[in-house]
A and B are shown apart, each in its own frame.
Chain A
Amino acid sequence: MVFDSLAQVPERDTGASDQCVAEDGFCPQWIVDNFGDYVQPLLDHTYLTVVTVVIGFAIAFSLAILAHRQRWLTGPIIGFTGALYTIPSIAAFFLLLPITGRGNTTALVALVAYTLLIIFRNVTTGLRAVPAETVDAAQGMGLTDRQVLWRVELPLALPEILAGVRIATTTTVGLVALAYLAGGDGLGRQIDAQITFKSNVALAGGLCVLLAAVLDLIILGVQRRATPWMRAAS
């Protein structure tokens, strides 16, 4: 039925047949030997994370621009995305099954929902923090509303916006580990398949943390490059 893949437990490779592996221990040699099996799940994990954040950003950013023009929309949007954010991801994965079926789509829908509040809030906060005098000056120079937004407000809000993207990204890496419950890919299935085997847990869990750290650093690097004036000021 829908859940058949939950029952799959891969055969553990005990080619070395060493004591450590048999005792579910933490075995560096096993990790080195079997690292190859974790590459595809890692790539899937990365893919799901990136797609989630990109889609989430597109939606949340558009909503934030809309709310920037129509201030009264801010409250309702935060209320709605806040409610989505509070629903536990595991429950959301299963509650979506009757609608979107098993697979990456279900995982994506739920994961995108979690990024909305984080990114929306930070874009809104960033835009609001732009000094009124700066906007006045830009308008005085004859910039249209659209030009003020894209050339003045958004660049100045960029650090806050990217801070939101960083948080959304690390959070998503963690949540993608649960996507296997909805039939999605990623390192979560690896963790669950041999959850009592220390080497497996340490390797798959370690890769998740590493992925979060690397993606975080990449966005931080983008932020540094995109906002050279921040470095000059500090």
Chain B
Amino acid sequence: MIVPTVLAFLGDFGEGLDFIFHERESVSGGVQVGGLGQVGGLALTHVEVSAAAMALGTALAAPIGLYLGHKGRGQFIATSISNVGRAVPILALIAFFIAFIGVGFTNVALALTLLAIPPILTNTYVGVRQVDRDVIDAAEGMGMSGSQIIWRVRLPLALPTFFGGVRTSAVSVLATATIAPLANVQTLGEPVLNPQTYGFPGTIGASIVVALITLGTDAGLGVVQRLVTPKGIKLAQGGRNAKGFSIPLVRRREQPT
């Protein structure tokens, strides 16, 4: 009784919320669209294709960033990848994949992987690099080997920055998965981009779900990021200022957009 009243009060947004929870006939007629079942299915594909991209992106970017950072090589590569990555429009990237490679789940996952790599690579690199020289000297003085220094000193100290990169990547990958229907992958972008079938409420409803998923993921990974931050760093930083934007020269920590 009270729910329809509230939904009506919200206007277009109420209609959108209603689309998420209840099936309705499509605009063109004949098919039932919306409702938790369909929206849930689209959300699942959305998360699947994003998770695949994140897994592959992390598996590729983290080891490379770790290695380059430890060796102190490839500063130019690590920073220019993130700069170039920022300048390439997401739509152009997806369009490039559609036009030159093809459509489908794998191709979209690969396109999103390209999007996921720069923040993770740069943040891993910078995280490893920024470990205080004195700390490394102390570890060497204690007789630690190269690999021990990587695993026991550099890695733990780089974890917060690394997770910052994962967080940035996850948000942009989930956001971009919305245009996956252009490449025939039925994500939440399906109702968003096809109002002629799903109607305006479908567009609004799916947009709300996409926004909630990204905000939730950002908040969740933010908690993880805080949990993996070694106590010493938390004390030194005095709060969450791990997110800073800068053109990555040598001087500042980088967390691209």
Complex: how many Å from CA A49 to CA B140?
A: 50
CB-CB under 8 A from B195, the residues of chain A are 1-3, 6
User: With A and B bound together, what is the CA distance between A7 and B257 in angstroms?
Assistant: 31
Within the complex, which residue of A7, A87, A163, A178 is in contact with B90, where a contact is CB–CB below 8 Å? Answer: A178
Q: Is A44 an interface residue (CB 8 A)?
A: no
- Residue from the set B175, B214, B256 with the largest chain A CB neighbour count within 10 Å: B175
- Which chain A residues (117-137) contact chain B, with CB distance < 8 Å? 117-118, 121-122, 125
Interface centre among A117, A170, A197, A209 (most CB of B within 10 A): A170
A171 touching B257, Cβ below 8 Å: yes
Tell me if A39 counts as interface (CB < 8 A to partner B).
Answer: no
B178 to chain A, nearest CB (A): 5
- By the criterion CB–CB under 8 Å, are B96 and A205 in contact? yes
B208 and A86 form a contact (CB under 8 A): no
B88 nearest in chain A by CB position: A209
Supposing A118-B245, A166-B247, A198-B100 touch, asked if A90 and B210 sit within 8 A by C-beta, the answer is: yes
Interface size class of B (residues with CB under 8 A): 35 or more
The answer to whether B214 touches A171, judged by C-beta atoms less than 8 angstroms apart, is: no
Q: Count of A-B contacts with CB under 8 A? A: 158
What number of A residues sit within 8 Å (CB to CB) of B? 57
Residue A155, interface by CB 8 Å: no
Report the bound CA distance from A188 to B92 in whole Å: 8
A178 lies within 8 A of B192 (CB): no
User: Taking chain A's interface residues, is the majority helix, strand, or loop, or is none over half, making it mixed?
Assistant: helix
Expressed in whole angstroms, the minimum distance between the Cβ of A143 and any Cβ of chain B is 28
A122:B245 contact, CB within 8 angstroms: yes
B213, closest chain A residue (CB): A88
The stretch that binds B, out of A27-35, A51-59, A63-71, A91-99, is A91-99
Q: How far is the CA of A204 from the CA of B99 in the complex (A)?
A: 13
- Cβ contacts under 8 Å, B88 to chain A: 174, 205, 208-209
A136-172 at interface with B (beta carbon < 8 Å): 160, 163-164, 166-167, 170-171
> Given the interface contacts A188-B91, A198-B99, A201-B96, does A94 sit within 8 Å of B192 by beta carbon?
yes
Given contacts A86-B214, A88-B210, contact A196 B91 (CB under 8 A): no
- Give complex CA distance A7, B196 in Å: 9
Give bound CA distance, A86 to B175, whole Å: 9
- B235: chain A residues at CB < 8 Å are none
Q: How far does the alpha carbon of A212 sit from the alpha carbon of B210 in the complex, in Å?
A: 27
Interface presence of A177 (CB below 8 A): yes
> Could you tell me if A89 and B86 are in contact, using CB atoms closer than 8 angstroms?
no
* A98 and B214 contacting across the interface, CB-CB below 8 Å: no
A211 to chain B, nearest CB (A): 9
Q: Is B174 in the interface zone, CB < 8 Å from A?
A: yes
**Is A195 in contact with chain B by the CB < 8 A criterion?**
yes
Contact A171 B86 (CB under 8 A): yes
A167-B257, A201-B96, A216-B87 given as contacts; is B245 within 8 A of A90 (CB)?
Answer: no
Per the 8 Å Cβ criterion, residues 28-86 of B in contact with A are 83, 86
How many angstroms from the CA of A97 to the CA of B95 in the assembled complex? 25
Question: Which of the candidate stretches B148-156, B199-207, B223-231 sits at the interface with the other chain?
Answer: B199-207
Q: A178-B91, A188-B91, A212-B87 are in contact. Are A196 and B98 (CB under 8 A)?
A: yes
CA distance A145 to B64 in the complex (A): 48
Whether a CB of chain B sits under 8 angstroms from the CB of A9 is no
How far, in whole Å, are A192 and B12 apart by their CA atoms in the complex?
26
> For A198, what are the chain B residues with a Cβ–Cβ distance below 8 Å?
99-100
